[in-house]
Each structure stands twice: as structure tokens, then as C-alpha cells.
Chains A and B, each alone.
Chain A
Amino acid sequence: MSLQFKKFEVKTPSGEIIFFAYVADKEAFRIVQDATGGFEKIFVSLIKGEFSYSLYNEETRSIEEYTINTGDALRNISEYIEILPTFSHTQASLDDAAIYHQYSLHFHGADYNMHKGMEPKSQEKVMLFFYAIHTIMHYSLTLAANNPHYKPQNFSTAEAASIKLDMYSTVDMTIFKEAFVYVLEDLECGSARQLETLSENIQKVYKKLLQKFSELSKFHNLDLLKVTLNGRVYTIDDFKNIAELSQGIMQRPLSTTCVIQSVKDNYRDDMYDALVADTKSFSHETTWKYEKNEALSKFLYFKKGEVVKLSGMKVSEHIRFLDSVEFLREDFDMTDHEVERLQEGRINVSTSRKKITLSTAHQQA
């Protein structure tokens, strides 16, 4: 069940905002504005039931001490609002807030259990994944033509026991949620729908989400992920299948002529090396990933400046996977030693010795 947020505001008598926060309970809150820079301390002690104050009683000339601790964060705030006029000129209010639950991600597995000691690297991966989905959520807002520059207030809540993360926002992200539902339904049934049936905007968000979810196959010890969306819980546990599903949808064949510029080891991930190439007019650099292969990387390193035809799969605007390299210089040739080393590295060399093909090359239709 998603949390019900309230809007807590403290103002001067003329309406200048001193403090503004959304709050649901002592753990789920987002501070939007803190004009003095220190009201947060009062707020946090208030919702935790630790706020103490003193009042001077003029009649008895005595100081009376109080602590607000009703056992409930919102009731504590209400009590504070009630007593505030007795000692302060400021005014406070607590009102219903239109805050929309966007999604929850609940990770289950040995590395994600606080009681057994959460694995820091896995925890970091989870957080990055959570905020990557958040970025896609924001992207979906830019697709809505009526308010492309509107920036909603977003905030997350976390339940650390087994890493459950919730994302809330002041705007209901309808395009994002519709696309997300399609992705989750497809992941549950294990096959992708015909994307042509979806609107262009939904397709864009769908692809981004699917691509992000395909990364889950690299998470260690992840047994299952429960995603809550529009009140429904989707359970995902076949992460390898997501990667395959994603490949099938995202990748399309690509072939281009360019000049080899350089080779990168451990490109963004210790699983990959990459070839950096440029168009012949040196105006558009592209990077072609391939599974780590020392023989191939060394070979390509010494072929800098060669004009080549690169073939492979384009996964997204910036990600390409290399399948083959064809050298276009007429008198290009490889030495026997080079051919030998490449073959040892499971690289196929054509009989003309002008084209090499990776053993991991994708089957093109």
C-alpha cells in the first residue's frame, strides 16, 4: 500500500515560506524548502517524537517543559501546529497533498538482505538502477508536449530490510506508467508484444525500460524483483530471459565505413573492450563494444588509421556491438603470426585475410 503524504508548511505572518515539506511518516518525507537553513532540525526531531520546548508562564513566573511525542509523525506535527502560536509569530499548516506513487522496486536475494549484511556493491547497483528508472520517468515527461519543461518534485522512500525502494512524485507520470505496465507484463509472460501497436512515445519509454531491466542479469545473487505499479505487484525472476528479450527488440544490424582511432580496455565494464572509430571525414566518433578479447584488442590497436567497414548491432543511440571488421585498403594483408594469434582468440579470419569475424557475432536475419 502506498503512503499518504501531507504538505507541511511554516510561514511568516505575511506569507513568506520558512519551511515546506511533504511528509507521510517519520521515514518518508521530502524537504522542499528550508528558508533559514535550520528548520530541518526542528522538523526531524518533531516527526521522530523528540521535539522538546519550554514555555514561560507569566502568571506563575515558571517555565513549563513539554515534549511532543504522540507516537505518530503526522499527529506530532498537528500538535506542533496547535501550540506554535503560543510561542512564535510563525504559522504552520498540514494539508492533504496530491502525491502520486510511481513505482516500487523490492529486491530479494542473499546480497540484498539487511539482516544478513547487505553487500555494498549490490546495494550501490540497486540504487543506480532505481534512479536510472527515475531518469526514464523524467524522460517520459519530456515526451508530453504540453509541459516539456515542467519539473515535478520527486522523492523516494526506502525500507532497508531487503531493499524496497518507492518513488513518488507531485505529477502522475501516465506515459511512463503505461509503458512500464507493458514492459512488466511482457517480462512476466516472457515474450515481447508487437511494439508497432504502441504509440511512438510509449515505444520510446518501453525500449528504455526494457534495456535497463536487461541489466538485471548482471546483478549478483538476485533471486527476484517485485515491482509495484498502479497497485499491482509484478514478480520477475528470469533475468537471463530479459536480456535475451531486450536483445531481440533493441538490436538492429548496422554497417558503416570508418577509420580505426583507438582501442579501449575494460570499456565501462570489465566484460568488454571497445573499438573507437571515426567516420572518414572525422566528424562522428563511434564506439563498438565486444566481449573482452586480448588477441583482438592487440591486433586492432596496431591497425589504427586503417579504413574499415564495421558491421554489428546497434543497441541504442550510443551502444554498438561489433560483429566483423573488413579492411578496405587494397594492399592490406595480415602476417601469419597475426592470423595465428587471432584464431587462438577465437576470431575467424577470411581466406582473403581482409575480414575478421567475431565468434560472438550476432546472427543477422
Chain B
Amino acid sequence: MCSNIINDFTIEHANTVNSIGLTCSLENTVCDEDIRSDNIELYINDEVITEHMSMEFFKDEKLLHRDENGKVCKVGFISLMREHKRHQITKKLHEKHLQILSDNNFKQMQLTAILDGLAVWPLLLFKFETQEFKEMWVNEVFTYMIEILGYNSKKAKRLSNADMHDIAPLLRPQNKEWFSNWVKNSMALRMYKDIR
């Protein structure tokens, strides 16, 4: 039944990135006809690098901001151990996820961005589920730019509404606290990305 939506091999393949020696194992797989969920442990050179990671696969879920249903992958938290953060592992993993999910006819990825994810997922072109979520994020970035980067209000307004590729480097300044460390731990914003 677990292969109904996506099989073990494909999930393992999606979480393997040869260029950085990333492999995985699936734990606590739970399935029914329409949903499959897996806890995933990631390894680099046989060393576990995840504190927690989970993915859920839906066979026929309502797609956000589209008038249709389709296969959806909901990414749970991808929490990497401290020493493995900031090595673009999430970015490379996401590129692999997109490729494999696309090959298996998934239409959309959905997740809730928290902690580091609040800086990572917007940069990976995830969209906010609602305008309110987007504005909550812009609001925090605006405040960060004023309080930590020392920008004036005009500059902070312009940059907090700029393209993500322009904002991203500003959220990781060399000699100041990073946005992902500064932002409140409880902040959680739902996001999604269409798979083409």
C-alpha cells in the first residue's frame, strides 16, 4: 500500500545527493490509501546530520491557490544539527526533491517555515500561503533591518519588499546576528511551491 503514492526507493532517491555524500534512511513509515508519511534520517559519510525531518505525501490533495487537486508533498521540519547548518544542504536537498517529485507527478510542495526556514524557504522561491503570512514576514524583515542592520525606515521599506535574491544576503550579515537567529522561535508561516 505504501507504494501507492510513492515508493521507498523513490523517497530514498529523493533524499540522496551524491555531490555532498548525502544518504538517508526511512523511519516510522505510516501509510493508508491516500497518505504516506515518513520520518527521515539524513547521513553524510554515515554520520547522522538531522535532528528531525519528516515528509508527507498526499495522493489527491487540494492544491493551494489552484482550482484543482493533485499529488502534494508536505515537508515537515528539516532540522539539521548545528554543525551541518549553513552548508547549503537544504538547498541541494530541495533541488533533488523537486526533480524527483516532478518525475512522480507531484503538483505542489507545502510546508510551514520556522526558525532557519524563515530565511531559507522564501529564497528557494516558496510563496506564502496568504497575504497576511507574507506581510508578517515582511514586517519582521523590516524590523530586523532597522534594529540589527541599522537601516532607516525608507531603506528598510524598499529592501524588505525587494526581490528575495536581493534580500537574502542582507539577512546573513558578516558581523551581525543573522535573521534566522534573531527571529522569534515561535514564528511559523505556511508556504507552498508549485512543481512544474
Contact = CB atoms under 8 A, between A and B. Distances in A.
Given A14-B146, A36-B138, A86 B153 contact: no
Contact of B188 (A36, A38, A56): A56
B120 to A, nearest CB: 15
A117 interface: no
Interface stretch (A45-53, A193-201, A350-358): A45-53
Interface in A146-162: none
Given A45-B132, A51-B132, A89 B153 contact: no
Given A12-B142, A18-B143, 19 more contacts: A35-B142, A35-B156, A36-B142, A36-B160, A42-B139, A53-B136, A53-B188, A56-B112, A56-B114, A56-B188, A58-B186, A61-B52, A63-B114, A86-B186, A87-B187, A88-B136, A89-B183, A89-B184, A90-B143
B140 A54 contact: no
Interface string B100-113: 00000000000010
Instruction: Report, as a range, how many residues of chain A touch the other chain.
Output: 20 to 34
A240 B144 CA distance: 62
Interface string B178-193: 0000111111111000
Nearest to B76: A61
B134 interface: yes
B161 interface: yes
Given A42-B132, A56-B188, A36 B161 contact: yes
Interface in B152-196: 153, 156-157, 160-161, 182-190
Interface class of chain B by DSSP: helix
A55 B186 contact: yes
Given A35-B157, A89-B182, A56 B132 contact: no
B147 interface: yes
A42 B114 contact: no
Contact of A38 (B112, B131, B189): B131
B139 A39 contact: yes
A10 B136 CA distance: 12
B77 interface: yes
Given A13-B147, A14-B146, A18-B139, A35 B153 contact: yes
Contacts of A116: none
A37 interface: yes
A63 B142 contact: no
B135 interface: yes
B131 A41 contact: yes
Given A38-B135, A52-B130, A61 B77 contact: yes
A41 B135 contact: yes
A11 to B, nearest CB: 9
B63 interface: no
Contacts of A18: 139, 142-143
Contacts of B134: 38
B123 interface: no
A8 to B, nearest CB: 14
